[in-house]
Amino acid sequence: MLMGERPEIAGRALSVAPSGEVGFDGARPAAGDGIARELARLVDPGVPTDAAERAIAVDQTNTSVIVDGRLVVKVVGAWAAADRAAHLLERLAHAGSTQVAGYAGRVDWRHPSLGTSTLAIVTEYLPGAQDGWDWAVDDVVALLAGDGSEPGFPAVLGATVARLHDVLGAGARAAPDDAPAARGRRALAALDAAFEAVDRSGGPTAARLANRAEALRRDVRSLGATGAGLAFDLHGDLHVGQVLRSPGVTPRYTVIDFDGDPQQGASERNRPDAAARDVAHLLVSLDLVAAVAQKRLGRAEPAAFAWADRARVALLASYRATLVRGDLFDPALVPGLEAEQLAAELTYADRYLPRWRYAPDAAITHRYPSTDELPEDPWTPPPFEPTST
């Protein structure tokens, strides 16, 4: 554990800005500066003092560096950003879960005024692993192009999440009596934010969304008629991009990033929730994979959503068949939580990644009936660009 207001790591002073941003001499760590290596050595003294550091080339709130070719050191970008993930990964490691990368340990920092928080998490490095926005889309594109067979990963994902839920849900408790109303309010707020964002941006998405507003609201309203059910600390931001696939005769699937939903505040992220939220988010991501595959193909392809329909059935069936604690999952929550997640995807696109709007637009257009009150153009994918979605 590090202690003090400005402890040194690799010759750099660690500090927390008034905004909560964590810095090393005021900057973020980077591969090659020795910070990740020194943090790794605090967890595993067997790491050589000259171990190589290599960046993980993705844009992320935190900084992840491969150390010694076998460990990933994830260094937080903000105070308390990794506390939740460290807690859940430790629980999974103690249970012997193989659904996550091997957990090596964490580095905590005891600050004289802020208390104690996790500064870095150290996990197993998985060579050659890709996230689902690559491997899942590749599988679906190959199927649609006639170069591949029906992907088997939806059933694998369903079983994987069920096993995670059985571990994390071991201490599940009854949700508060007002949980249905609270879920409904959160989902309705997400819808309202999405409608506002799309109306502001305009374009053909606006008419398609307006024609499906009542169908979306109907599913959101259904949350208020459900039971409170059980709640526990779940993943909270589950989609195919949070699942790595490692190459091999039998590919390995591992779930990453247990930080919770980045669009929610810390109190909401840390609140126990229903298992159905993870399931709904993952089901939505299958529709988004279908949209990305159509963009890759350069055309609207009905067979893509026909695949998504089959994939959703396979994932849900596998999840329910594998889940030992069947009382953790209430399927009645899924429609409303899916509607909320699709709305959140539109808002995310508006705030951070406008080129992503086509994907939730496609899923909403496919999944929800149109009133045809406004003239609307058929959904078509934007031109494919060889960059990350």
Find out whether 342 and 364 touch, Cβ atoms under 8 Å: yes
**Is 259 annotated as a binding-site member?**
yes
Q: Which of 17, 255, 16 is nearest to 129 (CA)?
A: 255
Model confidence at 183, pLDDT cuts 50, 70, 90, reads very high
**For residue range 186-197, what is the model confidence (pLDDT) as tens digits?**
999 999 999 999
**Is 340 annotated as a binding-site member?**
no
Fold adopted by 130-367: Aminoglycoside 3'-phosphotransferase; Chain: A, domain 2 (3.90.1200)
Give domain limits for the chain.
2-124, 130-367
**Is 131 annotated as a binding-site member?**
yes
**Is 242 annotated as a binding-site member?**
yes
**For residue range 24-64, what is the model confidence (pLDDT) as tens digits?**
999 999 999 999 999 999 999 999 999 999 998 765 678 99
SS3 assignment, position 104: strand
**Is 108 annotated as a binding-site member?**
no
**C-alpha to C-alpha distance for 113 and 5, rounded to whole angstroms:** 8
**C-alpha to C-alpha distance for 170 and 168, rounded to whole angstroms:** 6
Instruction: Write down the mean pLDDT value for the chain.
Output: 95
Find out whether 365 and 208 touch, Cβ atoms under 8 Å: yes
Global confidence as pTM: 0.94
Find out whether 314 and 154 touch, Cβ atoms under 8 Å: yes
**Is 338 annotated as a binding-site member?**
no
For residue 130, is pLDDT > 60? yes
Under DSSP, the state recorded for 17 is -
**C-alpha to C-alpha distance for 315 and 308, rounded to whole angstroms:** 10
Fold adopted by 2-124: Phosphorylase Kinase; domain 1 (3.30.200)
**Is 257 annotated as a binding-site member?**
yes
**C-alpha to C-alpha distance for 54 and 33, rounded to whole angstroms:** 10
More confident residue, 85 or 268: 85
**C-alpha to C-alpha distance for 346 and 335, rounded to whole angstroms:** 17
154 to each of 150, 240, 314, how far by Cα in Å? 10, 10, 6
Find out whether 261 and 271 touch, Cβ atoms under 8 Å: no
